[in-house]
């Protein structure tokens, strides 16, 4: 639920800008402040060479990192959000959608694709934080649902890359029910005996954590990612105490037994290839 | 008896009624005519006020201090045969969710529900109906127990949300709820879920995947409470009325949007005005649905349940 602050902080740089980095641009790490040529930064999976800070990236970048030869087929790209509740807060949801689409050059907070990873077929659904904080509305639920159908039809393993502040409030109960929908669909994938790998990235909170992100045959995450059900601000307000150091980081969640492994983004492709091999052979 | 601010006209009439009755007793004068006149007025006032409740007023009724909670329903429905079963077999017994077997018309059923406290001390013990992961894991353990012995499951939902505490996060609140959504989707026995008060977010949904999901007339169900929605979207707590409208959280809205399967009517003035009546209505509703669902072959039951949830959502295509 903390995506407002982050949008204000300007984390929503258009993915295109990041990807097609003109020569001579520099990336300044928000964690250690070290400056790296943007081109080099992109070559090392948008991870700081000095402190290993994982910059938030979008589906374009993840697909580029994962799929062999940058070859993939995007799936269900024509699905966009409805506004069934005609929701209005300080702004109309319909206007918010149009603005977000313009600003992010995305249609909603998730993209799905099929391609090969290290020679193994894989269907991937990847969330985009740049679209209304990666919030889960009907589009996210429907595209995950269809991607699971697709994986079952094509008999491929399935991966979801989560990056989300949680529910999309402007879709209210429709948003809530996407948790039920995606979880119910995952039972069919399990019945088909196909592996599901959940990759949790910064941040993965709220309804996404309380549904598909925590339901992987393997739950893996990026280092230092914020992972939790309730956001840290809400927890702090509830207990009226300072939060322990490292609370709700990937390392904390691993230590408490809810992650199989932390995988550095630079290692994502070789490790995924290895994992897919374990399931296949 | 407690009254909400908008129930003032009802409160005044009830106070008047008590006065008339008392003076009748004292003076031995026949006041029955006046009594019946006031009673008619009370019914009219209730009809008037409850006939045009705003979304926010419904939220208030769902939290009415006199409103019955899960254990009161379960005790009535099982005619006192309910036997509570405790613990998640891992960490502890969460008092915010109760569960156990009970007998209804000769049939064993598994009952599970959020439980709010009936007084200050109990409210703390029950953590205001906000469960920790252990509550969801206890619920799942009991549901699997019911499944193993082919007993239908009834869940009663009444929570302001899953508890957002440090231990809850340490012990995997997100995982616990997610696991329940996944496992409940494929339970081999009929599951009826009834929202009897507040249906807030993942904390409600965590015991809310059923063949029939029903809402009592004066309850709400959404992704967030109107107060929290107001504080996030309007950046102030003052827009809760507007948020309640915008969220479309009433039973009628939820049914219209095909997100629930039905609405259970409450006595005029809310469940607390006539508890016997609402308990009996809920009992009959459960019996009717379980009777029908029990006729379905297991594979068909599960398929229909999964298909129903998978159809939820509105998108544009093209
Ligand atoms: Zn750095």
For residue range A172-204, list pLDDT tens digits in order: 999 999 999 999 999 999 999 999 999 999 999
Across the A:B interface, residue pairs with CB atoms under 8 Å apart total 192
Token digits for A56? 């938030």
Confidence of residue A9 (pLDDT cuts 50, 70, 90): very low
Neighbours of B35 (CB within 10 A): 14
For residue range A103-115, list pLDDT tens digits in order: 999 999 999 999 9
Q: Dihedral angle at the C-alpha atoms of A66, A71, A72, A77, nearest 10 degrees?
A: 110
Which residues neighbour A116 within 8 Å (Cβ) at sequence distance 6 or greater?
A67, A68, A71, A122
Separation between Cα atoms, residue B99 and residue A140, nearest integer Å:
34
For residue range A34-68, list pLDDT tens digits in order: 999 999 999 999 999 999 999 999 999 999 999 99
Q: Do A184 and B185 touch (CB under 8 A)?
A: yes
Angle at B178 between CA B73 and CA B249, to 5 degrees: 55
Token digits for B204? 């409600």
Provide the b/e sequence for B215-228 (b: ≥16 CB within 10 Å): bbbbbbbbbbbbbb
Domain boundaries, chain B: 5-52, 60-310
According to the model, what pLDDT value does residue A23 have?
A: 55
Token digits for A253? 């969640």
With CA atoms as reference, report the closest residue to A165 among A121, A231, A223, A116.
A231
Separation between Cα atoms, residue B128 and residue A178, nearest integer Å:
26
According to the model, what pLDDT value does residue A3 have?
A: 34
Q: Do B182 and A210 touch (CB under 8 A)?
A: no
Between β-strands A120-127 and A110-117, what pairing exists: parallel, antiparallel or unpaired?
A: antiparallel
- From the list A176, A183, A230, which residue is nearest B164 (CB)? A230
CATH 3.90.226.10 residue ranges for chain A: 56-280
Separation between Cα atoms, residue B156 and residue B153, nearest integer Å:
10
User: How many CA atoms lie within 13 Å of B250's alpha carbon, on the beta-carbon side?
Assistant: 19
Q: Do A188 and B209 touch (CB under 8 A)?
A: no
Residue in B with minimal Cα distance to A186: B182
| Mean pLDDT of all residues in A235-260 | 96
Q: State in words which class domain A56-280 has.
A: alpha beta
For chain A, the DSSP string reads: --HHHHHHTT----HHHHHSPPTT-EEE-TTT--EEEHHHHHHTTTB-TTT--B----HHHHHHHHSGGG-EEEESTTEEE--TT--BSSSBHHHHHHHHHHHHS-SSSEEEEEEEETTEEEEEEEE-TTTGGG-B-HHHHHHHHHHHHHHHHHT--EEEEEEE-SB-GGGHHHHHHHHHHHHHHHHHHHHTT--EEEEEEEEE-GGGTTTGGG--SEEEE-TT-BB-SS-HHHHHHHHTSPPPTTTTBHHHHHHTT--SEE--GGGHHHHHHHHHHHHH-
According to the model, what pLDDT value does residue B286 have?
A: 98
- Is the domain spanning B60-310 CATH 3.40.30.10? The answer is no
Distance A163 CA to ligand 1 centre (A): 20
Q: Digits of tens for pLDDT over chain B (318 positions)?
A: 899 999 999 999 999 999 999 999 999 999 999 999 999 999 999 999 999 999 999 999 999 999 999 999 999 999 999 999 999 999 999 999 999 999 999 999 999 999 999 999 999 999 999 999 999 999 999 999 999 999 999 999 999 999 999 999 999 999 999 999 999 999 999 999 999 999 999 999 999 999 999 999 999 999 999 999 999 999 998 999 999 999 999 999 999 999 999 999 999 999 999 999 999 999 999 999 999 999 999 999 999 999 999 999 999 998
At residue B105, the 3 state secondary structure works out as coil
Residue in A with minimal Cα distance to B234: A90
Q: Do A89 and B246 touch (CB under 8 A)?
A: yes
Separation between Cα atoms, residue B158 and residue B130, nearest integer Å:
9
Instruction: Calculate what percentage of chain A has a pLDDT beyond 90.
Output: 90
Helix, strand, coil % over all residues of chain B, rounded to 5: 55, 15, 30
Q: Do B165 and A238 touch (CB under 8 A)?
A: yes
Q: Do A210 and B254 touch (CB under 8 A)?
A: no
According to the model, what pLDDT value does residue A80 have?
A: 98
Looking at the DSSP assignment, which residues form a beta bridge with residue B200?
A: B222
Distance of CA B58 to the CA centre of its chain: 13
pTM of the model: 0.95
Confidence of residue A254 (pLDDT cuts 50, 70, 90): very high
- Using CA of residue A270, residue A276, residue A279, residue A281, what is the dihedral sign? negative
Surrounding residues of ion ligand 1, Cβ less than 5 A:
A 29, 31-32, 48, 50-51, 53
Separation between Cα atoms, residue A87 and residue A173, nearest integer Å:
12
Q: What is the number of residues in chain A? A: 281
Q: Do A176 and B202 touch (CB under 8 A)?
A: yes
For B110-125, the DSSP string reads: EEEEE---SSHHHHHH
Separation between Cα atoms, residue B288 and residue B105, nearest integer Å:
12
Distance A241 CA to ligand 1 centre (A): 29
Q: DSSP class of residue B132?
A: -
Residue A2 confidence (pLDDT) above 50? no
Distance of CA A235 to the CA centre of its chain: 23
* H-helix or E-strand spanning residue B298: helix B298-310
User: With contacts defined as CB-CB under 8 Å, which chain A residues touch B222?
Assistant: 172-173, 176
Residue A10 confidence (pLDDT) above 50? no
Distance A35 CA to ligand 1 centre (A): 8
Residue A21 confidence (pLDDT) above 90? no
Q: Do A213 and B174 touch (CB under 8 A)?
A: yes
Angle at A140 between CA B156 and CA A279, to 5 degrees: 95
ipTM score here?
0.96
According to the model, what pLDDT value does residue B1 have?
A: 87
Separation between Cα atoms, residue B61 and residue B69, nearest integer Å:
13
Confidence of residue A133 (pLDDT cuts 50, 70, 90): very high
User: With contacts defined as CB-CB under 8 Å, which chain B residues touch A92?
Assistant: none
Token digits for B10? 């009802």
């Amino acid at each position: 639920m903390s995506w407002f602050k982050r949008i204000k902080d300007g984390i929503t740089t258009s993915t295109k800008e990041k990807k097609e980095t003109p020569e001579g641009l520099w990336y300044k790490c928000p964690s250690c402040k070290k400056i790296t040529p943007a081109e080099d930064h992109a070559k090392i999976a948008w991870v700081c060479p000095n402190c290993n800070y994982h910059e938030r990236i979008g589906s374009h970048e993840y697909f580029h990192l994962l799929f062999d030869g940058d070859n993939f087929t995007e799936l269900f790209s024509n699905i966009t959000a409805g506004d069934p509740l005609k929701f209005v807060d300080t702004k109309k949801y319909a206007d918010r959608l149009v603005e977000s689409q313009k600003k992010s050059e995305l249609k909603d907070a998730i993209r799905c694709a099929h391609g090969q990873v290290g020679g193994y077929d894989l269907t991937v659904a990847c969330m985009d934080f740049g679209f209304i904080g990666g919030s889960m509305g009907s589009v996210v639920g429907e595209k995950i649902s269809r991607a699971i159908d697709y994986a079952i039809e094509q008999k491929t393993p399935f991966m979801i890359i989560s990056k989300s502040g949680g529910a999309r409030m402007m879709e209210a109960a429709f948003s809530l029910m996407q948790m039920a929908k995606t979880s119910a669909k995952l039972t069919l994938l399990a019945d088909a005996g196909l592996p599901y790998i959940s990759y949790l990235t910064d941040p993965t909170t709220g309804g996404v954590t309380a549904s598909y992100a925590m339901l992987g045959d393997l739950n893996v995450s990026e280092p230092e990612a914020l992972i939790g059900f309730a956001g840290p601000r809400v927890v702090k307000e509830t207990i009226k105490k300072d939060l322990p150091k490292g609370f709700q980081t990937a390392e904390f969640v691993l230590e408490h037994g809810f992650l199989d492994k932390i995988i550095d983004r630079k290692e994502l492709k070789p490790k995924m290839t290895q994992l897919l091999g374990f399931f296949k052979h | 008896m407690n009254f909400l601010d908008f129930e003032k006209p009802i409160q005044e009439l009830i106070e008047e009624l008590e006065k008339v009755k008392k003076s009748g007793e004292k003076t031995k004068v026949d006041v029955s005519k006046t009594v019946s006149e006031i009673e008619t007025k009370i019914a009219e006032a209730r009809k008037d006020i409850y006939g045009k409740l705003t979304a926010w007023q419904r939220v208030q009724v769902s939290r009415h201090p006199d409103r019955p909670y899960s254990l009161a329903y379960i005790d009535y429905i099982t005619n006192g045969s309910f036997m509570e079963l405790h613990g998640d077999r891992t960490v502890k017994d969460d008092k915010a969710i109760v569960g156990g077997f009970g007998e209804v018309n000769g049939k064993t059923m598994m009952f599970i529900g959020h439980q709010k406290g009936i007084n200050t001390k109990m409210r703390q013990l029950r953590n205001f109906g906000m469960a920790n992961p252990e509550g969801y894991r206890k619920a799942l353990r009991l549901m699997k127990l019911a499944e193993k012995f082919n007993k239908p499951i009834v869940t009663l939902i009444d929570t302001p949300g899953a508890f957002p505490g440090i231990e809850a996060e340490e012990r995997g609140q997100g995982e616990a709820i997610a696991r329940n959504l996944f496992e409940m989707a494929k339970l081999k026995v009929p599951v009826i879920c009834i929202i009897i008060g507040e249906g807030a977010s993942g904390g409600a949904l965590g015991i809310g995947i059923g063949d029939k999901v029903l809402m009592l007339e004066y309850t709400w169900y959404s992704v967030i409470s109107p107060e929290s929605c107001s504080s996030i979207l309007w950046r102030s707590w003052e827009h809760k009325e507007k948020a309640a409208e915008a969220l479309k959280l009433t039973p009628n809205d939820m049914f219209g949007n095909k997100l629930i399967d039905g609405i259970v009517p409450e006595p005029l003035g809310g469940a607390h005005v006539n508890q016997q009546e609402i308990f009996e209505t809920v009992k009959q509703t459960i019996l009717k649905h379980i009777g029908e669902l029990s006729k379905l072959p297991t594979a068909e039951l599960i398929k229909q349940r999964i298909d129903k949830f998978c159809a939820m959502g509105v998108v544009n295509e093209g």
